[in-house]
Amino acid sequence: MSRNHIKTFLFAMLLIFAGNGYAQKNIIISESLAANSKPLKVKMGTQKMGKIWSFKFGDYEVANSKNGWTTTTNKSNLFNTKTDTKSTEKFAFTLSNKTGDFARVNAANNIEVKVLKEIELSTFLSIGENELLLDSRNFTAFININKDTTETWVLYMNVITGNTVDNGGTAFLTNSDRKIHIISTTSNKNGTDSRTFPSLGYEFFENEQPICALQYFGGGAFGMNKNIVWIHDNLDSELKLILAAAMTSILQLKN
């Protein structure tokens, strides 16, 4: 087989591989949201030292940001059979839109992991056991619009797992008067995506009505670069900005 034939064959196989294995399958969202929004592809830009990713989608983009260092503390008993690790990462950013309005966000991600570890006495003998006692992940972001500190929206996401507890995850966005529930969704929600790694995301609901959605992982081997946002067309501009800021916070958390 000539070199040209080999190149043609490899190119054809690449197209087949790309079409079958990496065909884009987005998260499944509510029909009403799909009918009243358009998918906005997220451009991640770059992440410079001390900054978050320079996300941009639709009318929104990160104007400036600060990404703090991660702080970690470790505790263990005398024989290191029980460990407790706590870490905190903080970041802040300003998200602007094309009308000159902006949202300021201050976020913190707190993680605590408690583990039991066995003691290896020899190659074939050990005492104790390896056991995850607690894995707590608590993310909070505070959102203000146009320097207005009289109203603060709070994004809260928490998952606690372990051998004694599993809360299944809690996520919502609130300003005390209103509460928007955040529900996980995937591209395999209906069992139609056979990929090993399906697309992952969230859909936001207020009064049981879908108002926006975020895909933070596009599935497959290169899913990190397939982020998509949907925002309901009939929302007012301020709520759209708040939702965009909340979803940008999640994008930074996940990426």
- Total domains in the chain come to 1
The tokens of 38 are what?
A: 């358009």
Q: Cα(230)–Cα(46) distance, rounded to whole angstroms?
A: 22
Residue 18 lies in a domain: no
- Structural domain boundaries enclosing 84: 25-254
Q: Does residue 2 belong to any structural domain of this protein? A: no
Does 7 reside within a domain?
no
Average pLDDT over residues 37-60: 95
What confidence score (pLDDT) does residue 11 get?
A: 47
Task: Establish if 198 belongs to a structural domain.
Answer: yes
Q: Which residues contact 117 (CB under 8 A, 6 or more apart)?
A: 80, 81, 82, 83, 128, 130
The CA-based diameter of the chain, rounded to the nearest angstrom, is 73
Dump pLDDT digits (tens) for 147-193: 888 999 999 999 887 775 656 679 999 999 999 999 999 999 888 88
Portion of the chain with pLDDT greater than 90, in percent = 62
| Cα separation, 46 vs 52, whole angstroms | 8
Residue 47 lies in a domain: yes
Q: Which of 119, 102, 158, 112 is nearest to 133 (CA)?
A: 112
Asked whether residue 79 is assigned to any structural domain, the reply reads: yes
Predicted TM-score of the model (pTM): 0.83
Condensed to tens digits (0 to 9), the pLDDT of residues 96-142 reads 999 999 999 999 999 999 998 877 766 666 666 778 888 889 999 99
Residue 1: inside a domain, yes or no? Answer: no
9 falls within a domain: no
